[in-house]
């Protein structure tokens, strides 16, 4: 099929394409990316011959020709090295990301970043205009493309446009600090349906729209310019079948046993799996663990912590400081409580394949998910999906979107270090029998409300707009 002339009935637009380049020696090939969004949309895309995905390939410079990978029709879009610094590292991740995560780290506002952000959004919109068939459905994703729905609406009034924000929407009082607050609201109002992870984010979005435009929202419906935009809550799930299938593999089960033995077969293994990001609360977790060891409430001989901190946005302001602090705390704990050949914290600043992560989930007795703010947090759901025997304790921040669904987790306030310490201590000493009711309840949610169901729910509601 010639992607240069074909007009598509369903178009997905996201910052990145749903594939990544995998090198095997000197040869490279494209493979589907891991992650919830690709898992959710791959079945929709593969079953629809009239669906394509617009996004950046991950390599600065001119875009490659359209291509197909395992049923995913990909239409690359060009982003220059300069735009990468201004649009992605700058406005997307040093202005929007911290602001939308409750300004945990001070956001920066620069007009050159804004100009690049607007320019890239325009390029996405113009590309979709050329690709979309008359009356096509377009689904736009995340904070990198907040302006795109409005731009697309002006160019193609015939399109049905959906937008989903994967990160939290901030409180109105925070949102209105942004100099370009009106432009971004205008961008969102170009969509027929705006989806968010939680009711709180949906409420915040509606309040910001009302504050900026003066329009009174009717429930979650905004009437404007002879059109309506609906705001809905659609918590994203995981590819639960994939996790279940991996757990059933003997090699994964054997790997779980091997990992535990390599740790010295401790009584309790705690696990943290995060991107290295100041929103994830890794430092708070480390301080709580250190104090529990220092107070004798946990034993370094019987309790170890594996902390995976996947590299992320290393060029963005603030991330280098987070890495330094996390690694200082890891060194402090191991220096004071470890022994030769037996660290108390096993710190891994590297990415891991999903099979290795699932083996760790299966092996870990306690999962620590303690972000200061998070749109959803799929790691929490992956851990729950991996607990086929209904054991294990999930210690979960109430400021993660997942807390709205996983209500029987050990919910904590990550800003309250004493409360976090109590929760960790309780989780470590809880019997397997006592874990079962809470885990069963969470597994029902995770195995039912999957990524695929999330996509179906959003698209079904979009069709009614």
Coil vs helix vs strand at 227? strand
Active site residue 434: no
Catalytic residue of the set 6, 110, 166, 352: 166
Given a contact cutoff of 8 angstroms between Cβ atoms, the answer to whether 237 and 454 are in contact is yes
Contacts of 13 (CB under 8 A, 6+ apart): 53, 54, 55, 124, 128, 138, 139, 140, 141, 145, 148
The SS3 assignment for 446 reads: helix
Report how far residue 390's alpha carbon sits from residue 219's, in angstroms, rounded to the nearest whole number. 39
- In degrees and rounded to multiples of 5, residue 234 shows phi and psi of -140, 85
173: β partners: none
| DSSP one-letter string for 192-221 | SEEEESSHHHHHHHHHHHHHHH-PPPBTTE
DSSP designation for 34: P
Q: Which of 142, 277, 365, 374 is catalytic?
A: 374
Quick check: is 374 catalytic?
yes
Q: Find the helix or strand (DSSP H, E) in which 335 lies.
A: helix 319-337
Nearest by Cα to 420 from 286, 269, 273: 286
Catalytic residues: 166, 374
């Amino acid at each position: 099929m010639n992607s240069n002339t074909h007009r598509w009935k369903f178009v997905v637009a996201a910052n990145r394409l749903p594939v990544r380049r995998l090198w095997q020696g000197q040869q490279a090939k494209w493979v589907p990316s891991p992650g919830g969004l690709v898992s959710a949309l791959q079945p929709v895309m593969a079953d629809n011959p009239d669906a394509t995905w617009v996004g950046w390939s991950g390599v600065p410079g001119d875009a490659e020709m359209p291509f197909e990978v395992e049923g995913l029709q990909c239409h690359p879009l060009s982003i220059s090295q300069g735009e990468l610094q201004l649009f992605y590292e700058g406005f997307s991740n040093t202005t929007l990301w911290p602001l939308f995560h409750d300004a945990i780290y001070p956001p920066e506002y620069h007009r050159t970043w804004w100009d690049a952000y607007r320019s890239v959004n325009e390029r996405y919109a113009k590309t979709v205009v050329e690709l979309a068939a008359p009356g096509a459905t377009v689904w736009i994703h995340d904070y990198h493309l907040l302006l795109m729905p409005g731009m697309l609406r002006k160019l193609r009034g015939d399109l049905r446009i959906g937008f989903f924000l994967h990160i939290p929407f901030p409180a109105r009082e925070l949102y209105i600090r942004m100099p370009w607050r009106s432009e971004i609201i205008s961008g969102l109002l170009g969509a027929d349906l705006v989806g968010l992870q939680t009711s709180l984010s949906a409420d915040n979005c509606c309040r910001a729209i009302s504050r900026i435009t003066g329009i009174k929202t009717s429930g979650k419906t905004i009437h404007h310019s002879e059109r309506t935009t609906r705001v809905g809550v659609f918590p994203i799930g995981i590819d639960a079948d994939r996790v279940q299938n991996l757990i059933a593999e003997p090699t994964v089960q054997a790997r779980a046993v091997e990992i535990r033995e390599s740790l010295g077969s401790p009584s309790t293994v705690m696990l943290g799996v995060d991107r290295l990001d100041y929103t994830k609360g890794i430092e708070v977790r480390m301080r709580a663990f250190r104090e529990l060891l220092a107070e004798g409430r946990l034993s370094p001989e019987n309790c170890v912590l594996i902390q995976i901190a996947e590299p992320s946005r290393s060029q963005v302001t603030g991330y280098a400081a987070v890495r330094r602090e996390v690694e200082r705390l890891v060194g402090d704990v191991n220096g004071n409580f470890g022994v030769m050949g037996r660290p108390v914290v096993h710190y891994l600043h590297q990415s891991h394949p999903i099979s290795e992560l699932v083996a760790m989930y299966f092996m870990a007795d306690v999962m620590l998910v303690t972000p200061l703010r998070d749109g959803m947090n799929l790691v929490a759901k992956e851990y729950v999906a991996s607990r086929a025997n209904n054991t294990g304790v999930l210690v979960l921040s109430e400021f993660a979107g997942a807390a709205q669904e996983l209500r029987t987790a050990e919910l904590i306030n990550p800003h309250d270090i004493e409360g976090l310490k109590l929760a960790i201590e309780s989780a470590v000493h809880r019997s397997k029998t006592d874990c079962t009711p809470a885990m069963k309840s969470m597994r029902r949610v995770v195995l039912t409300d999957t990524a695929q169901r999330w996509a179906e729910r959003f698209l079904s509601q979009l069709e009614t707009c």
